[in-house]
Each structure stands twice: as structure tokens, then as C-alpha cells.
């Protein structure tokens, strides 16, 4: 157990026994700063340019503070040196547990070694931290299944498959393009693998045609998941592969931010109405939920960040009380050094009809927020 935690728990126990001996009420005999409630959890988030990470950061902070913990929440502006520095500072300021959503999954080995040297447990949040033995736990979603769900949503949107998995009416051939996330994010590979395993039979039998011929993750990845870069790549694809009257029918996009860039490029090229290509997504970001409601984006994959935050808090508390957090997967996430015990949450595909039952009725967004395309 972390030395500071032990000391805090020890002092609290001492304070309690002193209170018991003297007959004082609880809390009257000790120094408040010695109680476990004064433990600090460092929370390092990648960026504030995407609303999902703001929601994640806020959820984790609120849930920890509600339990009385101190929270040191930092955003790194998608800059790797900034994140390294922020984690270093959390360690020097005496964090008792670290919860980290890495920008580059391979860039934090030094910080994690320093954390291990100071007995600070590390929880990787949604993105696995790679190449380090010092990742103690991983909370995320079933990322391979996210990719399967995205590809399935593309097939459903095109009419090749029905929502219940049956064969659809549409035969194709359909022209599609593929996008992937940032290569330095472990999740990007899981999403793409899940999606490609699902799409491959349809590409092989000619139902789907990747017109550009770009089917390798290295060819379709978007560094740092940037919306503008996705827009630029879609514009380039339209110029290079769709200049002779061929139309795009569908785009596999692994994240709503990328989807918005792709949609802008398609709209600027004149795509509209019923002929608008099927575009997938992920994260149920409010601006994209509105696009789905408006019939522009076809689907998104909802990952309830409230549940993810809750799991991170449960894992953090387990470490603070010297228990191993409960894992539900001890096989899938090898970070290059070891298999990291994980807690994986399920995901849900959201089409237009699902916005109300899944997102509004669960309190994730209000109907007004969806109508405005803005949270808060
Ligand atoms: C991934 C995450 C996705 C999406 C993406 C871009 O790591 O799993 O849900 O948020 O980053 O931020």
C-alpha cells in the first residue's frame, strides 16, 4: 500500500481509538488533515478540445469530491510534454493514486516509473498506457466491439444489413471510405480491427468498394483525432478518387469529431438530402447527436462516460483501501509488457430513433441540449 495512505489510515485509526478511550464523539480527537478523506487523486486528461474529455474529467472529479477526496485535475491540450510535466507535478505534489487518459499511449513510461517508485497506483483511463510494467488497472469499454458496432452501423445505414443482424435488401456495390483514429492511441487499433473484421467479407464479395484503395490503418489514421485533419483527408479523397462522377455512399468514422470534419467536406462538395453518405461515429458528442437528429450523421456509438468515471472511482478507492480492483477482463489488454487487468463497459449504437430512449431518458442530455446541439 502507498506509504501516505498507510500513514493516513494509521492516524485515522489512532484518532478513532483515542476518541473511543476518552469517550469523545468521532472526529473530535484527531487532526482532520490526517484522515483518509484528505487523500489526493491526480486526474490527467488529454484535451479540452473534445467535449467528451471535459465530461469525463468533470464526472471523475465530481464523483471523487462527493466522497471527500481531493482532486488534482489537469488537461494537457493534446501536447505530450505538457501531459508528462503535469503527471510529474502530480507525483511531486503527493498524489495517492493517478488516473490517466494518455495522449500518446507510449510516452509516459518515465512518469509511471516515478509513480511506481513512490508507490502510487496508476489507473489507465479509457486509453491503455503501453510499454510500462507500472500500469496497475485499466478502465474502458469493449473497444473491439466498438469497431464491430461502427462497421455494423455502416452496413445498416447502407441497407446491407438490418438492425437485428439479418441480411438487408440492398446489394450495392457501395463506394465507401475508411477512417481510423490516432496511431499512438491503442484504442484506434482495436476500433479499426473490429470494424475491418466486420467489413472484410463485404469488401471481398464486392458489396463494398473502398474506392481510394486505402484500407490499411496507416493510410487512413488521423493523428490526434483532429477534426480538421479528417476534413482535409476527406477533401483530398473527393478530389483524387471521386472526380469522375463516382459518389461516396458511406464513410466509416471512428469518432464524432472526425465525423464532423468528414461531413463538412461532403457538404462543401455538394452532398445533401437523401443522397448524403452514411457516416458513423463514436462518443455521442452533443454536436453530433444533433446531426443525427437532423438526419445528417447516421449513427454514433454511445459510451456512457458517467459509468466509466464511476469505474475509475471504484478502482481508485480499491487501491486506497489496499484492495485489488475487480477486473472483468484479464486477457485482452496486453500493453507490450504485461496484460493489464481491466474493467470493460458495454457500448450502445445510437441511431436517430435511439436518441430519446438512450440519451435523453437516461439524463445524459436534455431534449433542449439535443435541439441546440450544445450541452449545458
Ligand atoms: C479514444 C476514445 C474514443 C474517442 C477518441 C478521441 O481514445 O476511446 O472514445 O474519444 O479517443 O477522443
* Predicted confidence band of residue 35 (pLDDT cuts 50, 70, 90): low
- Which CATH architecture does the domain made up of 143-303+350-372 adopt? 3-Layer(aba) Sandwich (3.40)
Residue nearest to atom 4 of ligand 1 (CA): 255
User: What's the 368 CA to ligand 1 centre distance in angstroms?
Assistant: 25
- What is the predicted pLDDT for the residue at 31? 34
- What is the predicted pLDDT for the residue at 3? 45
Mean pLDDT taken over the chain? 91
CATH of domain 3-135+304-345: 3.40.50.2300
What value does the mean pLDDT take over residues 124-143? 97
* Predicted confidence band of residue 30 (pLDDT cuts 50, 70, 90): very low
Q: Is the pLDDT of residue 102 over 50?
A: yes
User: What's the 22 CA to ligand 1 centre distance in angstroms?
Assistant: 54
**Would the CB of 181 count as within 6 Å of ligand 1?**
yes
In sequence order, which ranges of the chain are alpha helices (DSSP H)? 3-22, 51-66, 80-92, 109-117, 143-158, 186-204, 217-220, 227-241, 256-268, 286-293, 305-320, 367-372
Report domain extents, the chain.
Answer: 3-135+304-345, 143-303+350-372
CA distances from 218 to 184, 215, 259 (A): 11, 9, 18
- Topology match between the domains 3-135+304-345 and 143-303+350-372: yes
Query: Using one digit for the tens of pLDDT, what is the confidence trace for 281-334?
Result: 999 999 999 999 999 999 999 999 999 999 999 999 999 988 899 999 999 999
User: What's the 255 CA to ligand 1 centre distance in angstroms?
Assistant: 7
Amino acid at each position: 500500500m502507498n506509504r501516505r495512505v498507510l500513514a493516513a489510515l494509521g492516524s485515522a485509526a489512532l484518532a478513532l481509538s483515542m476518541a473511543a478511550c476518552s469517550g469523545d464523539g468521532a472526529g473530535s480527537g484527531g487532526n482532520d488533515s490526517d484522515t483518509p478523506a484528505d487523500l489526493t487523486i491526480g486526474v490527467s486528461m488529454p484535451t479540452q478540445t473534445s467535449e467528451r474529455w471535459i465530461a469525463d474529467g468533470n464526472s471523475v472529479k465530481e464523483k471523487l469530491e462527493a466522497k471527500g477526496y481531493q482532486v488534482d485535475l489537469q488537461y494537457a491540450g493534446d501536447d505530450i510534454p505538457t501531459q508528462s510535466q503535469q503527471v510529474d507535478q502530480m507525483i511531486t505534489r503527493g498524489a495517492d493514486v493517478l488516473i490517466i487518459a494518455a495522449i500518446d499511449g507510449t510516452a509516459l513510461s518515465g512518469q509511471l516509473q516515478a509513480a511506481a517508485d513512490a508507490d502510487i497506483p496508476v489507473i489507465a483511463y479509457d486509453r491503455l498506457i503501453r510499454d510500462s510494467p507500472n500500469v496497475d488497472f485499466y478502465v474502458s469499454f469493449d473497444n473491439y466491439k466498438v469497431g464491430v458496432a461502427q462497421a455494423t452501423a455502416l452496413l445498416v445505414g447502407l441497407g446491407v444489413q438490418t438492425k437485428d443482424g439479418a441480411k438487408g435488401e440492398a446489394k450495392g456495390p457501395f463506394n465507401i471510405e475508411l477512417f481510423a483514429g490516432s496511431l499512438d492511441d491503442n484504442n484506434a487499433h482495436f476500433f479499426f480491427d473490429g470494424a475491418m473484421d466486420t467489413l472484410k467479407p463485404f469488401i471481398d464479395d464486392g458489396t463494398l468498394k473502398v474506392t481510394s484503395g486505402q484500407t490499411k490503418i496507416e493510410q487512413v489514421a488521423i493523428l490526434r483525432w483532429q477534426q480538421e485533419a479528417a476534413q482535409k483527408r476527406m477533401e483530398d479523397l473527393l478530389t483524387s478518387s471521386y472526380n469522375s462522377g463516382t459518389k461516396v455512399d458511406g464513410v466509416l468514422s471512428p469518432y464524432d469529431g472526425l465525423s464532423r470534419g468528414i461531413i463538412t467536406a461532403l457538404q462543401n462538395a455538394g452532398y445533401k438530402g437523401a443522397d448524403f453518405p452514411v457516416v458513423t461515429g463514436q462518443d455521442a458528442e452533443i454536436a453530433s447527436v444533433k446531426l443525427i437528429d437532423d438526419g445528417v450523421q447516421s449513427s454514433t456509438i454511445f459510451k456512457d462516460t458517467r459509468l466509466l468515471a464511476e469505474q475509475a472511482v471504484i478502482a481508485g478507492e480499491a487501491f486506497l483501501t489496499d484492495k485489488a480492483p475487480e477486473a472483468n477482463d484479464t486477457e485482452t489488454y496486453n500493453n507490450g509488457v504485461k496484460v493489464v487487468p481491466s474493467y470493460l463497459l458495454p457500448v450502445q449504437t445510437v441511431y436517430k430513433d435511439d436518441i430519446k430512449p438512450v440519451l435523453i431518458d437516461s439524463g445524459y442530455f436534455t431534449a433542449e441540449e439535443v435541439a441546440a446541439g450544445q450541452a449545458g
